Structure 1
Amino acid sequence: MKYIKLGDLQVSRIGLGAMGMSHGLTGAGSDDAESVRTIHRAVDLGVTLIDTAEIYGPYINEDLVGRALKGRRDQVVLATKFGMIDHGGSGAWNLNSGPANIRTSVEGSLERLGTDHIDLCYQHRVDPNTPIEETAGAVAELIAEGKVRHFGLSEAGPDTIRRAHAVHPVTAVQSEYSLWTRGIEDRVLPVLRELGIGLVPFAPLGHGFLTGTVRSESDFEEGDFRRGNPRFTGENFRRNLALADEVQAIAAEVGATPAQVAIAWLLAQGDDLAPIPGTKRVTRVEENTAADGLRLGAEVLVKLSGLPPAAGDTHTGAGLSMLER
Structure 2
Amino acid sequence: MKYNALGKTDLQVSEISFGCMSLGSDHAANHTLLHQALDQGITLFDTADLYQKGENEVTVGKAFKGRRQEVIIATKVGNAWRPDGSGWDWVPSKEYLRQAVEHSLRRLETDYIDLYQLHGGTLDDPIDDIIEAFELLKQQGKIRAYGISSIRPNVIREYVQRSHIASVMMQYSLLDRRPEESCLDLLQEQNIAVLARGSFAQGLLAGKAAKSYLNYAEQEVAQAAVAVQQVADISQRTAAEVAALFVLHHPAVTSAVLGVRTEQHLADALHIAATPSLMGAEVALLQQAIPPNVYEQHR
Match of 2:61 in 1: 66
What is the percent sequence identity of the aligned residues? 31
Match of 1:306 in 2: 288
Q: For 1:1-325, list aligned pairs within 5 A.
A: 1-7=1-7, 8=9, 9-22=11-24, 29=25, 33-85=28-80, 92-155=87-150, 157-212=152-207, 214-215=208-209, 231=213, 236-237=217-218, 240-270=221-251, 272-293=253-274, 294-308=276-290, 324=298
Counterpart Cα distance in 2 of 1:61 and 1:11: 21
Letter in 2 for 1:266: V
Letter in 2 for 1:250: V
Counterpart Cα distance in 1 of 2:268 and 2:81: 37
Counterpart Cα distance in 2 of 1:239 and 1:41: 38
Counterpart Cα distance in 1 of 2:288 and 2:27: 39
Counterpart Cα distance in 2 of 1:100 and 1:276: 29
Secondary structure (helix, strand or coil) at the match of 2:92 reads coil
- Structure 2 contact 227–285 (Cα < 8 Å) conserved: no
Letter in 2 for 1:19: M
Secondary structure (helix, strand or coil) at the match of 2:90 reads coil
Letter in 1 for 2:6: L
Structure 1 residue 6: Cα displacement: 2.0
Q: 1:184 to 1:6 in 2, by over 3 A?
A: same
Counterpart Cα distance in 2 of 1:162 and 1:304: 28
Letter in 2 for 1:285: L
Structure 1 residue 33: Cα displacement: 4.3
Counterpart Cα distance in 1 of 2:42 and 2:298: 29
Letter in 2 for 1:178: S
Secondary structure (helix, strand or coil) at the match of 2:256 reads coil
- Structure 1 contact 205–263 (Cα < 8 Å) conserved: yes
Letter in 2 for 1:253: I
Q: 1:285 to 1:158 in 2, by over 3 A?
A: same
Match of 1:226 in 2: none
Counterpart Cα distance in 2 of 1:109 and 1:296: 38
Tell me: higher relative CO, structure 1 or 2? Use CA pairs within 8 A at least 6 residues apart.
Answer: 1
- Structure 2 contact 82–88 (Cα < 8 Å) conserved: no
The gaps in structure 2 that reach 5 residues or longer are none
Residues 238-293 of structure 1, C-alpha deviations (whole Å, 9 max, x = no match)? 65344324322321221111111111122211165211111211222122222223
Counterpart Cα distance in 2 of 1:165 and 1:88: 34
Q: 1:87 to 1:5 in 2, by over 3 A?
A: farther
- Structure 1 contact 34–281 (Cα < 8 Å) conserved: no
Question: What is the RMSD of the two structures over their aligned residues, measured on CA atoms?
Answer: 2.9
Q: How many residues align?
A: 295
Letter in 2 for 1:269: H
Please give the TM-score of this superposition, normalised by the length of structure 2: 0.87
Structure 1 residue 310: Cα displacement: 8.9
Match of 1:227 in 2: none
- Structure 2 contact 93–129 (Cα < 8 Å) conserved: yes
Residues 128-160 of structure 1, C-alpha deviations (whole Å, 9 max, x = no match)? 443211101101101110001101011154443
Residues 60-102 of structure 1, C-alpha deviations (whole Å, 9 max, x = no match)? 2111211222212211110000012267999843111101111
Letter in 2 for 1:276: V
Letter in 2 for 1:267: L
- Structure 2 contact 196–253 (Cα < 8 Å) conserved: no
